[in-house]
Structure 1
Amino acid sequence: MFGKGSKIYAMITGCCPKCHEESMYLDGNPFNVMKIYAMHEKCSHCGQVYKIEPSFFFGAMFVSYGLGVGIGIIAFLIAHYGFHATLKTSFISIIVALVLCNTIIMRLSRNIWINIFIDFDKNWKDKLLK
């Protein structure tokens, strides 16, 4: 279910959504802020172009908004109900959680967005030979 060949695998690892053989990013470290969006033009294994059209990853902004809201809600619930923090402290925990998870949200939203449009192809090697 979470292994190679599943959408979840490609979303979490940031690998090519078509062949799952190579990372889409030049730097595998999501905390390197200077290169967080630096991507290969295409996959060196299957040839899949990552930027399908101009401004393709603009839609990932909407995914990142949803991820941010989800993380904010979880941070609030843990702080307010788990640690019985005050309302002010609970809102501060939301800000801290979003700042700490910012780079992960940015990459994960791109991974989710591209995986909506590109499916895994287990026969990609056969298609290259034709």
Structure 2
Amino acid sequence: MLKKGSKLYSILTGTCPKCHEESMYMVKNSYILSKVFDMHEKCSHCGLKYKMEPSFFFGAMFVSYGLGVLLSIATFLMSHYGFHTNLKTSFVAIMLSLTCFMPIIMRISRNIWINIFIHYDKDWKEKI
């Protein structure tokens, strides 16, 4: 399920979508907030340029919104129906979960966005 060559592997690990050989990010820990967006210019293995055009990752903002909504719904359902909290406590739980998971959501949304346009190429070594 989670092996090289799958979109899910690249999205969850933050590796190059073309060769899956190295991380796109300079710092793997997404909770170092000053470095959360710092990416390599290109992959040192296959040469894929990550920022293909100016403002390429602007579209990741829309993916991030969707992931945030999904997390909010899941948090609400878990807190309100699972733990039988009132609406005010459920709202606080949503705010806490969004705050805690925002660095991860930002990275995953970028990973999803680039994986929409770039596909794994098992023969990338032959094309260098």
1:29 and 1:47 map into 2 onto residues whose CA distance is 23
Q: Report the identity percentage.
A: 64
CA-based RMSD: 0.5
Partner of 1:45: 45
Partner of 1:94: 94
Partner of 1:118: 118
2:48 and 2:103 map into 1 onto residues whose CA distance is 25
2:26 and 2:105 map into 1 onto residues whose CA distance is 17
1:21: Cα distance to partner?
A: 0.2
Partner of 2:79: 79
Partner of 1:21: 21
Paired letter, 1:117: F
1:61 and 1:49 map into 2 onto residues whose CA distance is 20
2:2 and 2:28 map into 1 onto residues whose CA distance is 20
SS of the residue aligned with 1:93?
Answer: helix
Please list every run of 5 or more consecutive structure 1 residues that lacks an aligned counterpart in the other structure. Answer: none
Please list every run of 5 or more consecutive structure 2 residues that lacks an aligned counterpart in the other structure. Answer: none
Alignment deviations for residues 41-88 of structure 1 (CA, whole Å, 9 cap, x no partner): 000000000001110000000000000000000000000000000011
| TM-score, normalization by structure 1 | 0.97
1:106 and 1:11 map into 2 onto residues whose CA distance is 12
SS of the residue aligned with 1:64?
Answer: helix
| TM-score, normalization by structure 2 | 0.99
Count of residues in correspondence between the two structures = 128
Partner of 2:36: 36
1:2: Cα distance to partner?
A: 1.9
Which aligned runs of 4 or more in structure 1 are off by greater than 2 angstroms?
none
